[in-house]
């Protein structure tokens, strides 16, 4: 198998997760040749991880520009803090040597920056850029997407997504405690769910209404004299241009939950549900009622490493690697427009909470 050389920019928790996933893709020719991070402890932890996985030691750099100039990689994974994505992405796209890019969600923290990345990438047809909205690949979610796209449920009318989970984890220098760094909870965390809503609805968003607050988490934390301003719960309603609606129910102080994500998609003839991490899908039809509901165990035998996201990061890499090797015959499965719109819905939600009114997507896209 032809070797594909990867560089990882940002090797905190998620960066190391990418290293571990790529280690399990060695048989597909993936090799991590270099890493970059200005935080020495993160570099040391990544080198330790590489040793534990019996990987050749990657070359370590303190900055992404040195990594790009090294010529050591063909693909760059951007898993640095959210607020750094824009500068790093622009540097990669504008570099003389072409590098394919997998950028962690969110694409950027603002719509303005997302749009600039989209325009810059149009000038580089020699590179592929995929956005890390990997929840699409979780086996129960992927199965529900398959059910919806088959037309089994009829025309989708409502999409409800509940995420009840634990608080945000501690990150390097606590960057994720503040909206200015993360883009806000509805951008940082929930872009995954807004992306799924678009997929299930088969439509684009028109306007957003949200209500949210900081009610429990992080209220007793202080960093450099500042108290975190990230919300820990919200309801978000999204209206789509085909008349369907989506609703997100987010709670980040709900550790006592059987499932972290519960997704319901209702069409005019049937209903489908997905549950994570139980990894089951339920499908029922209006005609057959409750007694006709079928339960399906969702699995993907291609997964060789479950990791932090139930195998979805492994499948994300497997699919992106295939897209790269197709040499432009197929685009990335999650493209820059997907990344832009997932951020736009999140930004609209954050703005709706602040202003107490519906916010249109045109309003935020014109920023």
Q: Per-residue pLDDT tens for 45-90?
A: 999 999 999 999 999 999 999 999 999 999 999 999 999 999 999 9
What is the pLDDT tens value at each position of the chain, 367 positions in all?
Answer: 789 999 999 999 999 999 999 999 999 999 999 999 999 999 999 999 999 999 999 999 999 999 999 999 999 999 999 999 999 999 999 999 999 999 999 999 999 999 999 999 999 999 999 999 999 999 999 999 999 999 999 999 999 999 999 999 999 999 999 999 999 999 999 999 999 999 999 999 999 999 999 999 999 999 999 999 999 999 999 999 999 999 999 999 999 999 999 999 999 999 999 999 999 999 999 999 999 999 999 999 999 999 999 999 999 999 999 999 998 677 788 999 999 999 999 999 999 999 999 999 999 999 7
At 82, list the tokens: 């959210």
Distance CA 134, CA 315 (A): 8
- Cβ atoms of residues 282 and 293 within 8 Å: yes
Whose CA is closest to 263, among 155, 152, 147? 147
Q: What φ, ψ does residue 44 adopt, rounded to 5°?
A: -65, -40
Whose CA is closest to 206, among 114, 115, 341? 341
SS3 for 288? coil
Distance CA 327, CA 313 (A): 22
DSSP 223: B
Query: In sequence order, what DSSP letters do the residues of 235-251 get, joined into one string?
Result: EEEEEETTS-EEEEEEE
SS3 for 148? helix
- Cβ atoms of residues 89 and 103 within 8 Å: yes
**Alpha carbon 273 to chain centroid, angstroms:** 20
Can you list the alpha helix ranges (DSSP code H) found in the chain? 13-23, 40-52, 64-70, 85-93, 111-122, 139-149, 179-182, 185-188, 191-201, 312-325, 336-355, 361-365
Whose CA is closest to 191, among 333, 320, 37, 346? 346
């Amino acid at each position: 198998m032809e070797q594909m050389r990867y560089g990882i920019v940002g090797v905190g928790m998620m960066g190391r997760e990418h290293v571990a996933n790529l280690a399990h893709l060695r048989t597909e020719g993936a090799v991590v040749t270099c890493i970059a991070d200005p935080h020495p402890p993160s570099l040391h932890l990544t080198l330790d991880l590489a040793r534990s996985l019996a990987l050749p030691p990657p070359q370590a750099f303190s900055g992404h520009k040195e990594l790009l100039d090294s010529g050591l990689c063909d693909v760059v994974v951007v898993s640095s803090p959210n607020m750094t994505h824009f500068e790093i992405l622009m540097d990669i796209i504008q570099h003389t040597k072409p590098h394919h890019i997998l950028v962690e969600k969110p694409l950027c923290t603002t719509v303005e920056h997302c749009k600039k990345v989209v325009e810059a990438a149009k000038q580089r047809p020699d590179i592929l850029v995929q956005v890390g909205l990997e929840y699409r690949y979780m086996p129960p979610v992927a199965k529900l997407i398959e059910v919806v796209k088959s037309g089994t449920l009829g025309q989708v009318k409502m999409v409800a997504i509940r995420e009840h989970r634990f608080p945000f984890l501690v990150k390097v220098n606590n960057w994720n405690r503040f909206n200015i760094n993360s883009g806000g909870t509805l951008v940082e965390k929930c872009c995954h769910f807004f992306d799924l809503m678009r997929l299930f609805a088969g439509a684009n968003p028109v306007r957003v209404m949200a209500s949210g607050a900081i009610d429990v988490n992080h209220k007793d934390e202080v960093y450099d004299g500042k108290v975190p301003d990230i919300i820990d719960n919200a309801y978000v309603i999204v209206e789509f241009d085909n008349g369907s609606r989506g609703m997100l129910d987010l709670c980040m102080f709900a550790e006592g939950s059987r499932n972290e994500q519960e997704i319901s998609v209702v069409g005019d003839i049937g209903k489908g549900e997905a549950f994570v991490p139980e990894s089951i899908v339920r499908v029922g039809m209006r005609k057959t009622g409750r007694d006709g509901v079928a339960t399906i165990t969702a699995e993907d035998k291609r997964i060789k490493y479950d990791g932090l996201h139930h195998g979805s990061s492994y499948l994300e890499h497997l699919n992106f690697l295939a897209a790269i090797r197709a040499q432009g015959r197929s685009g990335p499965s999650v493209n820059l427009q997907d990344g832009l719109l997932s951020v736009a819905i999140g930004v609209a939600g954050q703005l709706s909470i602040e202003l107490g009114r519906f916010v249109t997507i045109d309003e935020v896209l014109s920023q």
